[in-house]
Structure 1
Amino acid sequence: MTLEVTHGLRLLADIGGTNARFALQSDPAGGFDDVEVLTGASYLTLGDAIRAYLDGARARGMAVDSVRHAALAIANPVEGDEIRMTNHHWAFSIEALRQELGLTTLLMVNDFAALAMALPHLPPSGRQRIGGGIELPNRTIGLIGPGTGLGVSGVVPAGGRWIALSGEGGHVSFAPVNRDEVAILEALWSEYGHVSAERLLSGMGLELIHWARTSRRLKAADITTAALDGSCLECQGSVRVFCAILGSVAGNVALTLGATGGMYIGGGIVPRLGVLFEQSAFRARFEDKGRLGDYLARIPTYLITEQYPALRGVSAMLSDQIFCLHQ
């Protein structure tokens, strides 16, 4: 089994709604080689994107012809062989893609399940504490992450191993906690009918929050830039609302999972908010759960700062998959 796991390079990927991050790995316990980020919209199919990455890696001197095992984390439910991405145009069969690429193993997992698998192994340098609390060892860890969509997951300890949870918690119904948020919800009801947490806690969600509050349509990047440089007080207000709602939803996830091992924030949006997030109402709203406030105050919250954490998680899942196949 050891030879099967370690022989040759392994292909790893973290595929979001906007970007696809690829890497090669020669040692399952080591780091990553030849990391490259490709824009998904530039490729007609996922297979095209993978081949483009491998061709580039070959040109850079990597022995990609030795790749036989691959694991891809994808921003989508994985419930069988057929995948049709929610926030992207790619649709494919996992088995057909495995055969197309000539792989022995092609593991496809939910991206936030992969990110969750990385959490027990994140070094202190890979996370930033937000607020108080003390994590309990060998307890459930929660995860939430706004990006192109809203990912929700966690990991549960089980007999010396960790088991990642795959779900679509980002699509639970949004619940406002004050009159301002009720007004936002009413504005979005007229547009969408059902309003999920993801409808607000995503790149598009920040834009919708700003539109509902100001009747102005701006891109998320422009809202964030204007909020950070202080040139737009309305943009700062929209970012503050975004962070506060994220705190409430993160608290809901922590309560649902019993995440006394800590609650983590991933995704591409929050790290860009810098001091606005650190000074926001996120932590206060995380704890604001009435009689359960003291329970949540004991749970620490962390912002993931490691650059490619999902690759760490999907690597561990690939090793488990290969090990099981050789038992």
Structure 2
Amino acid sequence: MLQAAIEPLAFPVLVGDIGGTNVRFALLSDANAELRSFPSVGTADYPDIETAIEETVLAHTSIMPRSAVIAVAGPVSGNAVDLTNADWIVRPADIMEKVGIGDVVLLNDFEALALALPELRPADVTHVGRGEVESFCTKVVVGPGTGLGVGGLVHAARIWVPVPGEGGHVSFGPIEPDEFPIWRVIEPEHGRISAESLLAGRGIVRLYRAVATVAGSMPQLHSPAMITDAALAGTDPCAERTMELYCRLLGRTAGDLALIFMARGGVYLGGGIAPRLLPFLNRGGFRKAFEAKAPHEKLVAGMATAVITRDSPALLGLAAFARTPNRFGVSLTGRRWRRAAVAAR
């Protein structure tokens, strides 16, 4: 059954990508306009989304948005969305009351990133390894950052249908012989080891401490950025080992998702970490783990993998939806809030 047509959003439209660490906003004045982006700010720098909108957008423009399409890092359910990795609670009713926007749509952040995939140009991505992108076939995006986001995009009935989820929280275990000693000393999170607990930014630190412990070394580095920088500079053997292992585990997860979604349209790495790791991703461990899916190695070997290098790609997806919502199979049931006067127009 085809979905009912989505009532268009009134322009200007505010689009926002609300992550656990960073907040990004842009304005779309009309359906044919270019996005006007505003500087990224820290989520922790503002007490709530309303203050962030007022101070980072409205204080710098005379344009008053009539609608908003906002991606949040967490499952959208009910009238209050609690961000998974930040202290904000996003309430559309508060956005309407305090900011004055009459029509608010909330989407999952990786749903928004999935919406961007058909909009990406060759210059927006860097391919890793072999594999071909097949047109109008299912795509997957997986993004390590503050958390580990996962989203799918299926082409059906001539529209693109995003498939949001919380796939980053699947359980994770060792496979290669050299991984078992590391697993024995990895600190669990919430009583278990999930993909996110190793592949999100905090997972880099967790992996590094485990690698150093197995090597009999005292951990010298204490942040994802420090570990990544040392690995890229070749100044810390444990950091290099950590990033090689990290890319292997990321490739394994990406390959699992490729099989789950049958992603002949490609698997894309989003988020803030992957672009920095291209030198390690290109060493081969990522792609080898991606393809190690017996008995379906040949199937997965034909699927493309790429890193999204464009800044703020989720805003691109949100803008595409705002311009032509009926090009996408997005259900807005329970995810769109409108003032009575707006809904009656």
Q: What TM-score, normalized by structure 2, do the two folds share?
A: 0.87
**Number of residue pairs the alignment of both structures matches:** 320
Could you report, residue by residue, the CA deviation over 1:260-291 in whole angstroms, capped at 9, with x for unpaired residues?
Answer: 11111101001112312221400110000111
Name the structure 1 match of 2:116.
Answer: 118
Cα pair 1:18 1:40 within 8 Å, conserved? yes
Q: Are 1:52 and 2:55 an aligned pair? A: yes
Moved more, 73-82 or 245-254: 73-82
Tell me the SS of whatever aligns to 1:135: coil
* Corresponding residue of 2:233: 229
Deviation at 1:189, TM superposition (A): 5.5
Aligned with 1:273 (options 265, 273, 277):
277
Change (3 A) 1:137 1:171: same
Question: Which residue among 23, 33, 39 is the counterpart of 2:42?
Answer: 39
Equivalence for 2:310: 306
3-state SS in 2 of match to 1:165: strand
Determine if contact 1:87/1:148 at 8 Å carries over to the other structure: yes
Question: 1:317 is matched with which residue: 321, 325, 339?
Answer: 321
1:107 to 1:5, Cα distance in 2 relative to 1, 3 A:
closer
The aligned amino acid for 1:143 is V
Distance across 2 between alignment mates of 1:27 and 1:236: 47
Query: % of aligned pairs identical?
Result: 36
Partner of 2:23, secondary structure, is strand
Residue 249 (structure 2) pairs with residue 245 (structure 1)? yes
- SS of structure 2 residue aligned to 1:176: coil
1:135 to 2:133 alignment: yes
Match of 1:292 in 2: 296
Quote the offset at 1:190 in angstroms.
Answer: 5.5
SS of residue paired to 2:114: helix
Judging changes above 3 Å, is the alpha-carbon distance between structure 1 residues 81 and 157 closer, same or farther for their aligned structure 2 residues?
same
**CA–CA distance in 1 between the matches of 2:34 and 2:344?**
24
In structure 2, what residue type is equivalent to 1:307?
Answer: D
Q: C-alpha distance in 2, partners of 1:53/1:112? A: 23
Q: Which residue of 2 aligns with 1:64?
A: 63
Partners of 2:186 and 2:207 within 8 A in 1: no
SS in 2 for 1:291: coil
> Residue 31 of structure 1 aligns to which amino acid in structure 2?
E
**Cα offset, 1:140, TM superposition:** 0.5
- Please tell me whether the aligned partners of residues 141 and 150 of structure 2 are also in contact (alpha carbons under 8 angstroms): yes
Report the Cα distance in structure 1 between the residues aligned to 2:294 and 2:171, rounded to whole angstroms: 20
Residues 107-140 of structure 1, C-alpha deviations (whole Å, 9 max, x = no match): 1111110000110121111111111111221111
Distance (whole Å) between structure 2 residues aligned to residue 29 and residue 299 of structure 1: 34
Partner of 2:96: 98
Q: Distance in 2 between matches of 1:117 and 1:73?
A: 11
Correspondence 1:141-160 to 2 at 5 A: 141-160=139-158
Aligned equivalent of 2:77:
79
CA distance in structure 2 between the partners assigned to 1:259 and 1:165 by the alignment: 13
**Hey, what does 2:336 align to over in structure 1?**
none
Which is richer in helix? 1
For residues 81-100 of structure 1, give each alpha carbon's deviation from its aligned partner in whole angstroms, at most 9, with x where no partner exists: 21111100001322232232
1:219 CA drift (Å): 0.8
Contact persistence 1:17–1:75 (CA under 8 A):
yes
Q: Distance in 2 between matches of 1:176 and 1:320?
A: 44
Q: Is the 8 A contact 2:168 2:196 kept in 1?
A: yes
Counterparts of 1:175 and 1:144 in 2: how far apart (Å)? 18
Moved more, 161-170 or 75-84: 75-84
Which piece of structure 1 moves more, 181-190 or 311-320?
A: 181-190
Query: Which letter does structure 2 place at the counterpart of 1:64?
Result: I
Q: Which runs of 5+ in 1 are unaligned?
A: none
Q: Distance in 2 between matches of 1:320 and 1:110?
A: 18
Amino acid at match of 1:318: A
Hey, what's the Cα distance between the residues in 2 that align with 1:320 and 1:287? 36
In the alignment, is the contact (CA less than 8 A) between 2:264 and 2:303 conserved in 1? Answer: yes
Which shifted more, 228-237 or 90-99?
90-99
